[in-house]
Amino acid sequence: GNLGVVLRELDQLIDALRHNQKAVELSPNSANLRNNLGNSYHRCGLLAEARDEFEKAIELQPDQADAFSNLCVVRRKLGMMEADIEAGKQSIQISPDAALGHNSLGLAYHLNGQLIEAQACFQRALDLKPNHAKAHSNLASLYKDYGEFEKAQHHFESALEHDPGFITAYSNMLFTMNYDPKRTGEEVFEWYKGFNERFSRPLASE
């Protein structure tokens, strides 16, 4: 059953990729189509190809904030940290009120060890979009690095409030709890049971 689901999703990704490749063949000077193709490559795990398409989209339309934001994510995954930060800065210069861009730049800063800059970006993303679950989760992880466990917990719970299916946020919250000296083992275990109820039990029949 699960294999069938994965194969169907894979088929859909490949179909989307082929469709976007054909669209770019027909209109190679369309920045939007290049950006769409980059997203398809990204979803298929073809990061270098995705990077190339985002860069081509930006060459064609230098004010395309989405392409800069997407390029930021892909460069980060490729380990291109300085270039990643530069793409994030350009994204928010073009579109300063886009929460997604501030969140992406914050991740780049965080992974580069620039925690103060990262915190400012995540907070700006939340100022612009208070229900931005990923920004809440990212800010929580940053507070974890600071050892500020109460603030981390607040933002993890906010992330899950806005996106109850956000399994990564819940998992990171559990990880963080294990380092909080104010937490008892029994209390942490209750949260683990909550994870089981939310994410594992619905899949028990499979």
Cα separation of 197 and 170, whole Å?
12
**So what's the pLDDT on residue 205?**
76
- Top mean-pLDDT range of 49-63, 85-99, 172-186: 172-186
The answer to whether 124 and 102 are in contact (CB under 8 A) is: yes
Q: What is the pTM of this model?
A: 0.71
Q: Where are the alpha helices (DSSP H) in 27-77?
A: 31-43, 47-60, 65-77
**So what's the pLDDT on residue 50?**
93
Cα separation of 79 and 160, whole Å?
28
Between 160 and 92, the more confident residue is 160
Q: What is the pLDDT of residues 139-173, one digit of tens each?
A: 999 999 999 999 999 999 999 999 999 999 999 99
**So what's the pLDDT on residue 108?**
85
Structure tokens at 133: 């679950």
**So what's the pLDDT on residue 8?**
60
